[in-house]
């Protein structure tokens, strides 16, 4: 009965989202010139009103840290939607302006990852880790020419933790199992969306004005969220520092931009590379030793800004 009700709510929210998308200038979410919403923005809304809404609803049922994390994820997707609206009505700007436009998404990623680090003793730490490991997938907007495989890479990065949630709750609470399914489906649907609308990178308008930095909305902190941990200056400041690079600022600036966008919380900078022999999911002999839970390697290595060159996580999904 609960599953049927959740499915009904999901369909209703999807229908409402479509009505809002065609409501024209009266819509509070904004759109492209003339009040019309671009096709790829409408398609993105289907993800927000579909699997994303289902994930948020299930997170509210679980409550606690999972619900707080879901609120941050909702704001992260909202920030990305605003960027898509800008791209739908504007031509691609220079790298320095693009860096400014990407900052709200970058900060949202950092906030999600910082929350996990600030709540390492949470009884729902595996849930938080699954989100934290995969949220850099929102950095696909800075990827070219293969953004979809990058999202898949980040989805796989969360598999170790989603499998743990399934193992812990499979026989105890179906809500957590449904939560995993809903969350994983967000990234699956995002990959399909990218393949259809942004195959080789974020699609920009060919006829509108060149996007300006003023199109970026102010980044408001999430209500009730604790401040990020103290440390070195956050990535957005580094990102803005690349704006003055001239001459060959093309590839180097994009690499620096991408590294800054996806670096996440600086708290994981000191992590060392873990060999396969030290990984519990690759070395069965370690499973009985009661080792503490690892948080997994940081999703992006500082020495290689392009995560497409990172080795994929070797884990099998318990949902498959």
Q: Residue 99 maps to which CATH number? A: 1.25.40.330
Q: Give the pLDDT score at 297.
A: 40
Contacts of 66 (CB under 8 A, 6+ apart): 59, 124, 127, 128, 179
Residue 284: inside a domain: no
Residue 190: inside a domain: yes
Pick the residue with more confidence: 44 or 11? Answer: 44
Tokens of 200: 């080789």
User: Average pLDDT for residues 273-286, to the nearest whole number?
Assistant: 64
Q: Give the pLDDT score at 278.
A: 66
Q: Give the pLDDT score at 243.
A: 38
Pick the residue with more confidence: 32 or 280? Answer: 280
CB burial of residue 208 (10 Å; 0-12, 13-18, 19+): middle
Boundaries of domain holding 11: 2-18+32-216+234-242+249-266+304-309
Q: Are the C-beta atoms of 84 and 120 separated by less than 8 Å? A: no
Residue 221: inside a domain: no
pLDDT at residue 84 is higher than 80: yes
Residue 297: inside a domain: no
Q: Give the total number of structural domains in the chain.
A: 1
User: Whole-model pTM?
Assistant: 0.63
Band of residue 213 on the pLDDT scale cut at 50, 70, 90: confident
Residue 288: inside a domain: no
Residue 77: inside a domain: yes
Q: Give the pLDDT score at 122.
A: 97
pLDDT at residue 93 is higher than 80: yes
Grouping H, G, I as helix, E, B as strand and the rest as coil, residue 91 is strand
Pick the residue with more confidence: 208 or 265? Answer: 208
Please identify which residue in the block is written with the tokens 């409550």. 63
Residue 319: inside a domain: no
pLDDT at residue 63 is higher than 60: yes
Residue 43: inside a domain: yes
């Amino acid at each position: 009965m609960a599953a049927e009700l959740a499915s009904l709510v999901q369909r209703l929210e999807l229908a409402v989202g479509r009505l809002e998308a065609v409501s024209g200038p009266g819509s509070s979410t904004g759109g492209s010139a003339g009040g019309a919403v671009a096709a790829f923005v409408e398609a993105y809304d289907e993800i927000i009103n579909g699997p994303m809404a289902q994930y948020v609803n299930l997170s509210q049922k679980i409550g606690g840290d999972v619900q707080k994390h879901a609120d941050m994820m909702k704001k992260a997707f909202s920030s990305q939607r605003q960027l898509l609206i800008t791209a739908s009505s504007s031509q691609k700007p220079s790298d320095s302006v693009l860096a400014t436009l990407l900052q709200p998404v970058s900060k949202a990623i950092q906030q999600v990852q910082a929350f996990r680090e600030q709540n390492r003793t949470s009884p729902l730490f595996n849930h938080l880790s699954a989100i934290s490991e995969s949220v850099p997938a929102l950095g696909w907007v800075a990827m070219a020419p293969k953004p979809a495989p990058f999202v898949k890479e980040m989805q796989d990065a969360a598999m170790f933790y989603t499998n743990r949630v399934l193992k812990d709750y499979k026989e105890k609470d179906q809500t957590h199992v449904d939560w995993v399914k809903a969350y994983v489906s967000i990234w699956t649907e995002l990959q399909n969306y990218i393949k259809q609308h942004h195959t080789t990178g974020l699609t920009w308008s060919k006829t509108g004005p060149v996007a300006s930095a003023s199109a970026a909305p102010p980044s408001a902190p999430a209500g009730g969220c604790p401040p990020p941990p103290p440390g070195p200056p956050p990535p957005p400041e580094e990102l803005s520092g690349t704006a003055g690079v001239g001459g060959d600022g093309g590839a180097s600036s994009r690499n620096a931009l991408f590294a800054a966008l996806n670096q996440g919380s600086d708290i994981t900078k000191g992590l060392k590379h873990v060999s396969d022999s030290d990984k519990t999911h690759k070395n069965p002999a370690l499973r009985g030793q009661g080792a503490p839970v690892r948080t997994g390697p940081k999703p992006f290595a500082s020495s290689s800004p392009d995560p497409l060159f990172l080795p994929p996580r070797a884990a099998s999904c318990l949902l498959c």
